[in-house]
């Protein structure tokens, strides 16, 4: 099968899901054409069956806003024509679903059928998509795609609730590729963060308000009153500065490491003991799943689809959004003694195995076949 894969090429979860799916499909012998404005960060080295087509926007003085969606649409049409694509799979509805739909319509005029699969990831629905600036277009693109998937039952429910959508939406969760987790922990790195072998509490995100990064700092400060742990913050974004200021106000800055963006989050996760995800909204929480697959238990909010992933008392604990005291208490339950930490680490890893790529990704392939041939 020849598949066009459209995504954001960044470190965000939707780009990671699309890239790892594309790599897996290529390993199964399918030809995968990534169409995006930069090489997807998780693509790594050259791979058989994987191709990348760059969407290049030329500057023109008339445009205050570069017409990315139009250029992307033209690129999708060009790649579909030149490489005889069988399927176009777009990740993140804005603007990929509407651009994909336009490409499909252009090709239909030429007598070419290109089925469009749209995968909804979260903020394209729960934060941005529902705004009146996007809603009519997103509803239309969702209704007119040949198949639509959502990364959790909660996101599916939210899509029905927020949009005028009456079509079937299939849930295909985020996943982990076990071969990515065989890496041994980097002891040098661990020592740098926690020289005396202190437990390492970690958070990874894009530091947007939805992630509640200040809750991470408050939870850690409460933990620190009982256990001499260290805090490792990975990523960057709008709330990083506020987080740094809060650490200085609390006088804990020497115990906190802001690592910035890293391409492979599994390296910091491998030296971590606990992962915090207190998000306001989270359709799934790929970073938490990656933590669990690295053997790191998760203390999180119960927002969105997180409870579908993090099992209270097994892989970690869940609390209401903003319950900083409760999350600190749970964090202590996990890391306070070696026995409990060992137990939660083992269970978190075990639980992550429900989301192994070989269990999840064939569902995409079955969907492609269903759309193409009307068979599973």
Interaction between residue 265 and ligand GMT (CB under 6 A): no
Give 136-182 as a DSSP string.
Answer: HHHHHHHHHSSEEEESSHHHHHHHHHHS---S--EE----B-GGGG-
Interaction between residue 281 and ligand GMT (CB under 6 A): yes
Select the residue interacting with ligand GMT from 18, 80, 93, 151 (CB under 6 A): 151
Among the listed ranges 212-220, 277-285, 291-299, 318-326, the one in contact with ligand GMT (CB under 6 A) is 277-285
Binding mask 75-94 for ligand GMT (x = CB under 6 A): -----------------x--
Residues facing residue 209 across a β-bridge: none
Binding mask 11-30 for ligand GMT (x = CB under 6 A): -xxxx-x-------------
What's the token pair of residue 159? 């899509």
Among the listed ranges 41-49, 121-129, 164-172, 177-185, the one in contact with ligand GMT (CB under 6 A) is 121-129
Q: Is 317 helix (H, G, I), strand (E, B) or coil?
A: strand
Q: Which is nearer to ligand GMT, 141 or 151 (CB)?
A: 151
Interaction between residue 284 and ligand GMT (CB under 6 A): yes
Q: CB–CB of 286/275 below 8 Å?
A: no
Q: How far is the CB of 275 from ligand GMT (least distance, A)?
A: 13
Count Cβ atoms within 10 A of the Cβ of residue 58 and give its class: 0-12 exposed, 13-18 middle, 19 or more buried.
exposed
Cα dihedral: 18, 19, 21, 25 (round 10): 130
Interaction between residue 285 and ligand GMT (CB under 6 A): yes
Q: Say how far apart CA 73 and CA 53 lie, in whole Å.
A: 12
Q: How far is the CB of 298 from ligand GMT (least distance, A)?
A: 13
Q: Output the CA–CA distances (angstroms, integers) from residue 291 to 115, 127, 223, 269, 271, in the order listed.
A: 35, 25, 19, 6, 10
Binding site for ligand GMT (CB under 6 A): 12-15, 17, 92, 121-123, 151, 174, 206, 210, 281-286
């Amino acid at each position: 099968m020849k598949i066009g894969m459209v995504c954001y090429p960044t470190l965000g979860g939707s780009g990671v899901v699309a890239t790892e799916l594309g790599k897996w499909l290529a390993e199964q012998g399918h030809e995968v054409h990534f169409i995006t404005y930069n090489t997807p960060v998780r693509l790594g080295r050259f791979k058989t069956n994987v191709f990348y087509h760059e969407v290049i926007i030329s500057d023109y003085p008339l445009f205050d806003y570069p017409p990315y969606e139009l250029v992307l649409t033209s690129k999708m049409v060009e790649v579909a024509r030149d490489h005889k694509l069988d399927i176009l799979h777009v990740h993140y509805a804005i603007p990929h679903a509407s651009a994909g739909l336009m490409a499909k319509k252009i090709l239909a005029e030429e007598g070419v059928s290109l089925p469009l699969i749209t995968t909804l990831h979260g903020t394209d629905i729960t934060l941005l998509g529902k705004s009146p600036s996007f809603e009519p277009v997103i509803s239309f693109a969702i209704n007119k795609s040949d198949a639509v998937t959502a990364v959790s039952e909660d996101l599916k429910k939210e899509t029905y609730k927020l949009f005028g959508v009456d079509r079937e939406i299939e849930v295909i969760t985020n996943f982990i590729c076990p071969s990515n987790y065989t890496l041994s922990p980097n002891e040098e790195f661990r020592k740098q963060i926690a020289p005396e072998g202190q437990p390492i509490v970690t958070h990874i995100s894009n530091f947007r308000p939805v992630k509640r990064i200040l809750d991470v700092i408050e939870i850690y400060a409460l933990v620190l009153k009982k256990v001499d742990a260290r805090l490792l913050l990975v990523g960057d974004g709008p709330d990083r500065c506020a987080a740094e200021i809060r650490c200085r106000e609390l006088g804990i800055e020497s115990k906190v490491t802001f690592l910035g963006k890293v391409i492979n989050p599994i390296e910091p996760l491998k030296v971590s003991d606990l992962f915090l995800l207190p998000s306001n909204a989270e359709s799934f929480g790929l970073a938490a799943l990656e933590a669990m697959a690295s053997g790191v238990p998760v203390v999180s909010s119960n927002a969105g689809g997180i409870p579908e992933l993090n099992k209270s008392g097994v892989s970690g604990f869940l609390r209401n959004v903003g319950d900083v005291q409760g999350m600190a208490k749970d964090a202590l339950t996990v890391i306070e003694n070696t026995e409990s930490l060992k137990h939660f680490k083992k269970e978190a890893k075990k639980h992550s195995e429900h989301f192994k790529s070989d269990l999840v990704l064939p569902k995409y392939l079955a969907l492609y076949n269903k759309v193409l041939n009307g068979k599973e």
